Amino acid sequence: MLHSSRNAHLRLVTPPPTGSDEAADVDLARALMAGTPGAPELAWDRYAPLVHGIVGRALGPDAEVEDVTQEIFCRLFARIRTLRKPEALRSFVVSFAVRIVKWELRRRRARRWLTLSETGEVPDNQLLFMSVENRYALQRLYALLNKLGTRERLVLVLRHVEGMTLEEIAEAMEISLATVKRALRRASTRLSDLVDGDPKLGRPIGQPAPRSAK
Amino acid sequence: MSRLDDERPDGDWEPADLSPRAGALTDLARKSLGQISPAEQARGRDTLRARLAFGRWRTGRPFAYVLLGAAAATAVVALVSRAGVHEEAAAPLAYGIEGGALGPGGVIEARGATEPAVRFADGTVITLAKGTQGRINSVDGRGAHLSIAEGTASVNVVPKPHARWRIDAGPFTINVHGTVFTAAWSPATGRLDVRMERGLISVEGPLTGGPLALRAGQRLTVVPRESRVILARLDDSDDDAPVNPTAPAAPSEAATTAPSERPAAPAAVAPARPAVRPARPGRTWGASLAAGDFASIVDDAERDLPRALASASSDDLAALADAARYRRRDDLARRALTVQRRRFADSPRAADAAFFLGRLDENDGGGLIHALRWYDRYLDEAPSGSYAAEALGREMIALRELYGAARARDVADEYVRRFPRGSYAGAARALRGER
């Protein structure tokens, strides 16, 4: 529920479906449920950007975003028959993505994978072409997010990074709106404290050294 | 701080906002992460199709896919594992060798003049070119470990979560993360060639400076004997386009066409005999470095580090600094480079050391200011040095990051004028276009 102007900077990264999108979704959902050849590829073409975005932003800089996205689609197809309303395909996809991302976050937490890439050996795929300082800032952000509980982290990322509405988050995570709000408040406060108190972020940068002419 | 976590008068409770700094970070994440490129989407579609062909997800009514039939029709001549393809698998992946057989010790033996292909149950295929000597070292539920003693392998790995595929090519290790590429290793010339069609791999070995990431459309050539590393676009036929192995991944808009390859810079003082014990008898640290024997160099030096630093030749100090960087011992690398500058002041290697000290400072994540000074110093000492283009490019990027585009434009002008085809030419032109 976006009432106040202070949330005006938030935007929905993936626009909500239009009427024609919903009609196409109904056809696509029925084709998937009927096992029509080519339907999975169509679903991929339509929803891969959405799912990839959720995974990438929720997990952070991670070389396995593509792999997790693949996994989401494979599991989605395996459970497509549980979709009750074909017109709700988009919500179904988002819900699936969020569920698997949540599982992935918990798995990582359980294994105490505090490094940003699973192997710790490969440069993070999403960060290859970023500036050093932005890369560092993002690495710090996701290191701090690792300190949040899975639900808090996911709610915060879906809201502040992915730009979803509170209602969308509640639906995707299958929790109540009130729970979303509580979790978001805790997560926002905690992350703000962590960021503001992080000595490694925003260290004072000195004045530019005069550059000798060449 | 603009947090609001109060109850609204109408009872519509609004959750807290982020602090400005936290908000800026989440903004950065939103703008920077998660976008899927057309190439990634196309690759994902192919991968999905391949996975569907193996029926991992089917719930009853199967989809008809050509690949399923093709996979079933594959002439598997040696089924080595009984693992089922439908399981996510702690059990080893099933695989077979098409056009060949598995010999003693995991050696892949071609049948006649054919090119044997190892087909794994997850859809991964590794094909050995004619005459290639390869072996399967191990297979588990997440992937396999193969070695190429000589020749060329074409690798098509189907991405899946937590997969681990490793290809050894001579002294190089290629970690694969779902991709299509060829790798050729020649022990006679000591040359590795990797050509990337899709995906992402990392290559680690002599001269790579730790894992070196390769993306789709790039090729990598490493010739340790010539201290040569070339990372370029596939369609760039210029074989004399080396890059500094410590350099970051190239800007996306530019092929890596750095200026000149690393010379065998002469030491200012050439000792009559090695002042420190070589890593192996009869082998200098430089030779050990070329052979990829980094650990022994570091171990040798650390047996009596003060003495090693005080008595090593300029060449040995450079080799020690390289070995330390490859072993991720930045502390040791920094000491070797600092001593290089002090003991062999005014030599070409001392100037090179300034550049590498800048790279080390930059890699620290917070040392851009220091890195800038080192790049400046390098450019003063070696305005036409081997790393001039790289130093100028890094300086331009650092200036932009620290002080904004306006401060970086003079350097961008200089870069484009001096290195119009350099690695940072695209970024420099973009900066000039921001006026």
pLDDT the model gives residue B8: 37
Q: Which residue has the higher pLDDT, A109 or A200?
A: A200
What does residue B175 show for φ and ψ, rounded to 5 degrees? -95, 130
According to the model, what pLDDT value does residue A86 have? 86
Residue of chain B nearest A210, judged by CA positions: B373
Rounded mean pLDDT, B37-46:
74
Q: Alpha-carbon distance B432 to B435, whole Å? A: 6
Listed by number, the residues of chain A in 57-116 with a beta carbon closer than 8 Å to a beta carbon of chain B are 57, 60-61, 63-71, 73-75, 77-81
| pLDDT tens digits, B234-243 | 766 544 433 3
Question: pLDDT for B297-320, tens place per residue?
Answer: 888 999 889 889 998 988 889 889
Partners of B222 in the β-ladder: B192, B229
Mean pLDDT of A36-63: 85
Query: Residues A208, B403: contact at Cβ < 8 Å?
Result: yes
Residues in chain A within 8 Å Cβ distance of B65: 37
* CA end-to-end distance (rounded Å), chain B: 34
Split at pLDDT 50, 70, 90, the class of A98 is very high
* Interface contact B251-A60, CB threshold 8 A: no
Closest residue to A70, CB basis, from B47, B58, B362? B47
Asked if B414 reaches chain A (Cβ–Cβ under 8 Å), the answer is: yes
**Phi, psi torsion values for B11, nearest 5 degrees:** 85, 0
Name, in order, each residue with C-beta under 8 angstroms of A20's C-beta and a sequence gap of 6 or more.
Answer: none
Q: Are B285 and B299 in contact (CB under 8 A)?
A: no
Q: Is the entire prediction scored with pTM above 0.80?
A: no
Q: How many beta carbons lie within 10 A of that of residue B15, not counting itself?
A: 23
Residue B162 or residue B290, greater confidence? B162
CA A56 to chain centre: 6
Tell me whether residues B369 and A206 touch, CB distance under 8 A.
yes
Query: Which amino acid type is present at position A36?
Result: T
A15 pLDDT higher than 70: no
Distance from the A196 Cα atom to the nearest Cα atom in chain B, whole angstroms:
7
Q: Which of A149-153, B57-61, B263-267 has the lowest mean pLDDT?
A: B263-267
| Chain B touched by A137 (CB under 8 Å) | yes
- Give the Cβ contact number of residue B363 at 10 Å: 14
Tokens linked to B73: 């029709």
Q: What one-character DSSP code corresponds to residue A81?
A: G
Tens of pLDDT, residues B313-349: 888 898 899 888 777 788 898 999 999 999 998 888 8
SS3 A97: helix
Q: CA of B18, closest CA in chain A: separation in Å?
A: 5
B16 → chain A, closest CA residue: A185
pLDDT digits (tens, 9 = 90+) for A140-170: 888 888 888 889 999 999 998 888 889 989 9
pLDDT digits (tens, 9 = 90+) for B169-188: 877 888 886 678 888 888 77
Partner-chain contact B22 A188, CB within 8 Å: yes
Q: Is A130 on the interface with B (CB under 8 A)?
A: yes
Q: From the CA of A8, how many Å to the nearest CA of chain B? A: 12
Alpha carbon of residue B162 to chain centroid: 19
Asked whether the beta carbons of residue B58 and residue A78 sit closer than 8 angstroms, the reply is: yes
pLDDT value at position B54? 52
- In this model, does residue B264 exceed pLDDT 60? no
Secondary structure tally for chain A: helices H, strands E:
8, 0
In chain B, which residue's Cα lies nearest the Cα of A39? Answer: B63
- Residue A187 confidence (pLDDT) above 90: yes
Assess whether pLDDT exceeds 70 at residue B384.
yes
